[in-house]
Structure 1
Amino acid sequence: MLAFFKEPRAVALLLAASLTILSNTVISPALPGIEAQFPGNPNAELLTRLLVTAPSLLVAIVAPFAGMTADRFGRRRQLLFGVLLYAIAGSAGAYLPTLPLILASRLVLGVAVAIVMTSQAALIGDYFSGARRGRFMGLQIAAVNFGGFAFIALAGWLAGISPRLPFAIYAIGALVLPFLWWAVVEPDRTTSKEAEGHEPEELGADPRWGLILGIVVVLSGLSFVLFYIIPTQMPFYLASIGFTDASAPAQVLAMVTLAGGVAALAFGTVRARLGRGATPAIGYLLMATGFGIMDMSESMTIISLGALFVGGGFGFTMPTFFAIALDIAPAHRRGFASGAITTSIFLGQFFSPFFSTPLVSWLGYAHTFAVASAVLVGMAVIVFALFSARSPAAVTA
């Protein structure tokens, strides 16, 4: 796995992927402080939560089109443009004067994220194949989570100084852009062989790839509805039980990303041994355990332990979505497939507060965690039944 770090193009794709973790959660520790800055806005409670998930709506809308344009016009130029737009729109929240303007900048950020994610995922499919692609997907999620661990910890510290400062972290996109310009090359997709390893696309001709992709789209979207209960509700839950410092939600989010990174490093090996049905099923069960633990106690230690389980489970689950999509899609439709998964992920993120906020009002935070746990157990059963029945070639691809 360390061999990937010797390839500039692999490092570039890891950096591009790491930017996406910042798109939403990096400002989560600052949400209570941002809400307090706009006491005259009657919708400040909902709007501040939407600052976390607003980019998701535009990602969901734009991603399918971004995927198709990447298929038609090329991945490289689209990736570079997306990273530049990301840096500009993401950092704008540091200085914009009103909550509606900040929300608008978050929507533009969503456009940028859609462009970056679809072109970056399609490039993975172009550059790598077979088991090597699976290992890279695990490494990518690990890089995203470890990067998120560092940046969320930094965001918690910055939010303690000013709730606007975490927005400045998005400017890192401008710093990595020159390296991406140098390292990323447009792949030749005219050949029937894979660019890396010259392995055939066993699953690309599967006439059921559209149906399989549709199932994965639904599962990935629901997964993010549940997972995003953590960044959208945890800061307010912790404040309600006495943990009002911005470092408290940053600690919980850091535990999620750290555990997710460790689990993702093992994703390639676990998937090769257990298959693509059991691997996400275990991930869902770990997430269910984490939410169940959070339902048990208001202790910061117990909550952090639950966060570790949620993050670890997500580290096994998240790489599955893109890995299956890239496995089954024909080479000339990888942009479309990655766009479809990106849309489902960010629709899940966007709708998460609309699902969780009424539940919290009705049941309270602890029982909301219990509901999430029960749903995840059901999803573990479903994903195991659906994908374990696939052929051995599909499982190990």
Structure 2
Amino acid sequence: MKAATSAGRSAVLPILLLASTLTVMAGAVIAPVLEVIRNDLGLSGTAAGMILTAHGLSIAVASPVVGWMIDRWGVRVPLAGGLMLYGVAGGAGVFTSSYPALIAGRIAFGVGAAAVFAGTTVALLSYYEGEQRDRVMGWRSTAISLGGVTWPLLAGAIGGFSWHAPFAIYLIGVPLGLAGLLMLPDTGGTATKAGTPRGRILPLLGRRPALLGYYGLFVAASVLLYGLAVFVPFRLAEIGIEKPFLVALISTTASVTMSLIGFGYAKLRSSLGYSTLLRLSALSWILAFALVGTTGHAALVVVGTGLFGLGMGIVMPAVTVLIGDTAPPALRGQATALSGTASFAGQFVSPLMLGPLVDSTSVKTGFLACAGLATVLLLALLVVRITDPALSPVAEDEPEQAVA
């Protein structure tokens, strides 16, 4: 652990792991009642999908600013403030009954989610190193996936009373933000560390083009993830499964698998290289979407979503650490925040890409298109060679990082 003794406080890791679950919770809480909202408000599949992903647009736009704030002033205050905004804006859906108001609330909510996503990631990368970092990043994936089980099940259970009720779950961000403000250690930033260079992210992308490839992986993963999240409920409705709790139960299969992989990620990482891990992930996604797109049986839908979770359980910690180690510490906040831009831009465009295809053809066709995208990703990963940036760390005093 690198952040002195204060980072050893017993509450720090639980706060960061619980806060990390809120990133997947951003859409997972609403997914079980999405079909109910769609029917109640008379929405198309594309419009309903936008309720689930509209926050992705504001996350994509706000993330670079959040990253700059973290690099400039440290992670504690931006993360705590983001958690509180997340809770207030997300919880506002309890009182919202119109489609425009829902979308507006989701956009405001996304600003807080941007700080939560970048802040939790940078905090874990800053407080831990080496094998301990691999371990806590695996635990983070497990926490995220367990949140992907717990929160949707809770949402499905209370969603049977009203589709407004699940929005109240977001309110957990408020007390969690207060706890973070009081208990997280202050890492400081370039504004508080004398002699620390204040770099710029664009020159770094030119010097380290691998970062662009990692962001591309996050875009593709998010398109596929939200293709699954948005359209599995519609697929289940086609085979006669419409009760919110059952939809939530089946939809959480990916998260269960992701949890198991998270517990074992450190061992996988120690025995397999990044290239092998990422190729296995792409292969699991091909199989997952091919299966869900061709089966008419609920049990096989469960298997397919589980295969998808296997790949996500590897990609999330692997690519996050690759980005963190490729960027110098003075630019880690901005580099990590751009991964948020990539991830949530992918979430935002997913229903725009897949919605019209599904509306004009079928849900099956949409899933087979996702299998095709995963195939392209696998072919790209077979061509490129991914090296471990930790073996040749980036120097903090590179001349291109000087302040303009």
TM-score > 0.5, shorter chain as reference = yes
User: Paired residue for 1:280, among 278, 289, 292?
Assistant: 278
- In 2: Cα distance, 1:364 partner to 1:85 partner: 38
Q: Match of 1:26, as an amino acid?
A: V
- Matched residue, 2:41: 38
Q: Match of 2:97, as an amino acid?
A: P
- In 1: Cα distance, 2:392 partner to 2:269 partner: 11
- In 2: Cα distance, 1:390 partner to 1:384 partner: 16
- Matched residue, 1:198: none
The C-alpha deviation readout for 1:30-63, integer Å capped at 9, x for no partner, is 1121122224xxx554332211000100000000
| 2:21 paired with 1:18 | yes
- In 2: Cα distance, 1:74 partner to 1:319 partner: 22
- Matched residue, 2:92: 92
Q: Match of 2:362, as an amino acid?
A: G
**For structure 1, which segment, 365-374 or 108-117, has the greater mean C-alpha deviation from structure 2 after superposition?**
365-374
Does structure 2 conserve the Cα–Cα contact (< 8 Å) formed by 1:114 and 1:342?
yes
Does structure 2 conserve the Cα–Cα contact (< 8 Å) formed by 1:359 and 1:368?
yes
Structure 1 residues 34 and 361: alpha-carbon distance in aligned structure 2, compared to 1, 3 A threshold: closer
Q: Give the superposition deviation at 1:192.
A: 11
Structure 1 residues 208 and 47: alpha-carbon distance in aligned structure 2, compared to 1, 3 A threshold: closer
Q: Match of 2:124, as an amino acid?
A: I
Q: Give the superposition deviation at 1:355.
A: 1.3
- Matched residue, 1:171: 171
Does structure 2 conserve the Cα–Cα contact (< 8 Å) formed by 1:321 and 1:341?
no
Q: Classify the secondary structure of the residue corresponding to 1:187.
A: coil
Q: Classify the secondary structure of the residue corresponding to 1:295.
A: helix
- Matched residue, 1:47: 47
- In 2: Cα distance, 1:255 partner to 1:394 partner: 38
Structure 1 residues 276 and 394: alpha-carbon distance in aligned structure 2, compared to 1, 3 A threshold: farther
The C-alpha deviation readout for 1:81-137, integer Å capped at 9, x for no partner, is 111111101111111232211111111110000111112222222211223222221
Q: Classify the secondary structure of the residue corresponding to 2:54.
A: helix
User: Paired residue for 1:215, among 213, 217, 225?
Assistant: 213
Structure 1 residues 109 and 279: alpha-carbon distance in aligned structure 2, compared to 1, 3 A threshold: same
Does structure 2 conserve the Cα–Cα contact (< 8 Å) formed by 1:93 and 1:167?
yes
- In 1: Cα distance, 2:230 partner to 2:338 partner: 24
- In 2: Cα distance, 1:31 partner to 1:73 partner: 38
- Matched residue, 2:199: none
Structure 1 residues 384 and 180: alpha-carbon distance in aligned structure 2, compared to 1, 3 A threshold: farther
User: Paired residue for 2:11, among 8, 25, 31?
Assistant: 8
Q: Classify the secondary structure of the residue corresponding to 2:241.
A: coil
Structure 1 residues 261 and 191: alpha-carbon distance in aligned structure 2, compared to 1, 3 A threshold: farther
Does structure 2 conserve the Cα–Cα contact (< 8 Å) formed by 1:238 and 1:248?
no
Structure 1 residues 384 and 16: alpha-carbon distance in aligned structure 2, compared to 1, 3 A threshold: farther
- Matched residue, 1:196: none
Pairwise mapping of residues 356-371 of structure 1 onto structure 2 (< 5 A)? 356-371=354-369
- In 2: Cα distance, 1:316 partner to 1:376 partner: 15
- Matched residue, 1:378: 376
User: Paired residue for 1:259, among 252, 257, 260?
Assistant: 257
- Matched residue, 1:203: none
Runs (4+) of structure 1 moved beyond 6 Å?
Answer: none
Q: Classify the secondary structure of the residue corresponding to 1:133.
A: helix
TM-score, length of structure 1 as denominator length: 0.89
- Matched residue, 2:101: 101
- In 2: Cα distance, 1:287 partner to 1:162 partner: 34
Extract unaligned runs of 5+ from structure 2: 1-6, 197-203, 394-404
Cα RMSD of the aligned pairs, angstroms, is 2.5
Q: Match of 1:99, as an amino acid?
A: Y
- Matched residue, 2:120: 120
Structure 1 residues 390 and 186: alpha-carbon distance in aligned structure 2, compared to 1, 3 A threshold: closer
- Matched residue, 2:31: 28
Q: Give the superposition deviation at 1:208.
A: 6.9
- In 2: Cα distance, 1:223 partner to 1:329 partner: 21
Does structure 2 conserve the Cα–Cα contact (< 8 Å) formed by 1:279 and 1:316?
yes
- Matched residue, 2:58: 58
Q: Give the superposition deviation at 1:308.
A: 0.7
Q: Match of 2:106, as an amino acid?
A: R
Overall identity of the aligned pairs, in %: 26
Q: Give the superposition deviation at 1:389.
A: 5.3
Q: Give the superposition deviation at 1:178.
A: 3.6
Does structure 2 conserve the Cα–Cα contact (< 8 Å) formed by 1:5 and 1:11?
no
Q: Match of 1:157, as an amino acid?
A: A
Q: Give the superposition deviation at 1:210.
A: 2.9
Q: Classify the secondary structure of the residue corresponding to 2:253.
A: helix
- In 1: Cα distance, 2:211 partner to 2:99 partner: 37
- In 2: Cα distance, 1:65 partner to 1:279 partner: 32
- In 2: Cα distance, 1:378 partner to 1:394 partner: 29
- In 2: Cα distance, 1:50 partner to 1:237 partner: 18
- In 2: Cα distance, 1:168 partner to 1:389 partner: 44
